[in-house]
Structure 1
Amino acid sequence: MTPALRDTVFSGLRHAALMAGALVVLMPFIWMLVTAMKPPQEIFIDQIRFWPGQMYLLENLHEAFTKAPLLRYLLNGVIVTAAILAIQVMVAFPAAYALAKLRFPGRRVLFGLVLLCLLIPPHAIAVPLFLLFHQIGILNSYAALILPFTISVFGIFLMRQFFLTVPDDLIDAARMDGLSEFSIVWRVMLPTAIPALIAFGIFSVVAHWNDYFWPLIAVNSEHLYTPPLGVAAFRNEEAGTSYGPLMAAATVIILPLVAAFLMAQRRFIEGITLTGMK
């Protein structure tokens, strides 16, 4: 076998393996979309039928939007995720800049604490947070959904790794021009960190848009439900779960995430790549 032929065969095998893996990952989403297109009588048949015999997508979407205030759930998701991301950026950028570019006693210890906090699962502090929010009276509000996630140690770590790749000469030039440290963060470092910011934004939005655990604890009013909590409206213990409208609602809920990732895909990959350069 010639080297060119061997490379072609190995390349074909790699692509085949990647396509098989992608199919395994995408199959639940494909099945969700197919189920959203089926009428009730086809969902519960005793045989596997991939493509629906009768297209029922519009009816399932109509029932999804009429059975539950789906638009309200989506609006709550936008408000909560946007507020969390904005506050996380406001906290993570100065903290990451200080850990990456400033020299002060205890800098390595503080960065070690950041790494330590990465190991703490959010479920471990859910009960203390619930008790604290109950004492100060902010449960069942937007504040209860937003405040626990305003400081992202992952965001600090990611931005710090990116800032290490920024030349010190750029910061020294900004200081010679009379910029303060906070001005350097927002006027110099922020424009250079757009790829890392987009990468972190996708991680943050996906995590908090899909979060079911904490909203289930923090709120009990339906008008505050986030999208994952909204799908519980399609569960009926007496009549059974309406799987068609449920899958249609789930499709509507994940579409913004898919669209955002596809639009920011190039910047996302660039940000992840650059944060590992140093």
Structure 2
Amino acid sequence: MRPGSSIAAQALRHLLLGTMALCALCPMLWALRLSFMSSADMFASEFRLLPSHWIGFDNYVRALTASPLPHFLINGVIVCGAIVTAQIAVAVPCAYALAKLRFRGRSIVWSAVLIGLIVPPAALALPLFVMAAYAGLIDSYLGLILPWTISSVAIFLFRQAFLGVPDEILDAARLDGLGEWELLFVVLMPMIKPAIGALTMISLVAHWNDLLWPSVVVTSAAKATPPFGVMLFRTQEIGSDYGPLLAGALLIAAPLLLVFLFTQRRFFDEFGTHADK
């Protein structure tokens, strides 16, 4: 291939990627713009890129005071942090056993994990609700957390990462006197950090933005997570004032953006590794 054609192909690829990124960011940028506008500017007959009257952070102040949004954010941190921690604690030994150990029924367990990957969470809402009701977990943190502590995605992701570790490393560690648990947490865990980072990002996005399960199991604002809590207070406190609603939505999305900035290297390392394979 000639150098000129290679440069042209690279420029075209960057142009397409930049266009796609801009299209993906447009709704967020539009919401950010509207969150600094008054209702009069927002619904003005003529288009204004910038507000005619600067209202500062009034919409953000209203979003934080008209509803207990900080409490909802704290609930989200507690629930999502507990879910991610539990998923890692459960999935790491399960994935290690499926990847490196030989035991009776391993194929059946692996088949169950694969089935769990294709079952949509919405299909499990009713049986999980009945189980939570019998266990007395309605409107509680445990009711929000326990159903998601076992993650098929986490087990699958960690198993694939463990399969990439040569067995010779494990044999050498066993010869040095390490037990299976020491081998897992001292030797293998540092080697699958990209997979842990990827799982953390995937799980946080899924459960931070989850509206279905909190709306099923939560009955009061005290245990509401951010999306469900904002929905509870949307009509009675803010009504159709879209400025505070958009400001609240951006405040809810901000923690995920920060987490992605801190974990993006691990995230892309993991999927880049699998893409190379």
TM-score bracket for the superposition, by shorter chain length: over 0.9
Distance change >3 Å, CA 38–CA 189, structure 1 → 2: same
Q: Residue in 1 aligned with 2:208?
A: 209
CA 1:239 to 1:275, structure 2 compared with 1: closer, same or farther past 3 Å? closer
Give the superposition deviation at 1:239: 7.7
- Per the alignment, residue 72 of structure 2 pairs with 73
| Structure 2 counterparts to residues 56-135 of structure 1, below 5 A | 56-135=55-134
Q: Which range moves more in the overlay, 8-17 or 46-55?
A: 46-55
Amino acid at match of 2:142: A
Please tell me the residue identity of whatever aligns with 1:192: M
How well do the aligned residues superpose, as a CA RMSD in angstroms?
A: 1.8
Contact preservation (8 Å) 2:66, 2:237: no
Opposite residue 67 of structure 1, the aligned amino acid is: A
Unmatched 5+ stretches in structure 2: none
The residue identity in structure 2 corresponding to 1:24 is C
Give runs of aligned pairs for residues 37-56 of structure 1, distance below 5 A. 37-56=36-55
Which segments of 5 or more consecutive residues in structure 1 lack a partner in the other structure?
A: none
State the Cα distance separating 1:178 from its structure 2 match: 2.3
**TM-superposition CA deviations, 1:147-175 (whole Å, max 9, x none):** 11000000000000000111111111221
Shift of 1:182: 1.9
CA distance in 1, matches of 2:274, 2:238: 51
- The alpha carbon displacement at 1:108 in A equals 2.6
Mean Cα displacement is larger for which, 175-184 or 199-208?
175-184
Instruction: Give the match for residue 262 of structure 1.
Output: 261
Residue type of the partner of 1:118? L
Residue type of the partner of 1:267?
R
- Give the deviation of 1:240 after TM superposition: 3.7
Cα displacement (A) at 1:199: 0.8
The SS at the match of 1:128 is: helix
Equivalent residues of 2:63, 2:69 under 8 A apart: yes
SS in 2 for 1:55: coil
Q: In the superposition, relative to structure 1, how do residues 16 and 277 fare at CA in structure 2: closer, same or farther (>3 Å)? A: closer
Aligned partner of 2:177 in structure 1 is: 178
CA contact (8 A) 2:87 2:149 kept: yes
- Partner residue of 1:19? 18
Q: Which runs of 4+ in 1 moved over 6 A?
A: none
| Offset from partner CA, 1:17-37 (integer Å, 9 cap, x none) | 111111111111111111111
- Aligned-partner Cα distance in 2 for 1:171–1:239: 59
Q: Name the structure 1 match of 2:147.
A: 148
Give the conservation status (yes or no) of the 8 Å contact 2:67–2:237: no
TM-score with structure 2 setting the length: 0.94
For residues 7 and 114 of structure 1, do their structure 2 counterparts lie closer, same or farther at Cα, with a shift above 3 Å needed?
Answer: same
In the alignment, the residues of structure 2 paired with residue 239 and residue 46 of structure 1 have an alpha-carbon distance, to the nearest angstrom, of: 23
Aligned to 1:7: 6
What does 1:171-250 align with in structure 2 at a 5 Å threshold? 171-236=170-235, 240-250=239-249
SS at match of 2:57: helix
Identity percentage over the alignment?
A: 43
Greater Cα offset, 49-58 or 28-37: 49-58
Q: Structure 1 residues 238 and 75, CA, compared in 2 at 3 Å: closer, same or farther?
A: closer
Residues 259 and 198 (structure 1), Cα distance of their counterparts in 2 relative to 1, 3 Å cut = same
Aligned residue pairs, count: 277
1:130-151: CA deviation from partner (whole Å, max 9, x where unpaired): 1111122110000110011000
> Superposition pairs for residues 159-170 of structure 1, below 5 Å?
159-170=158-169
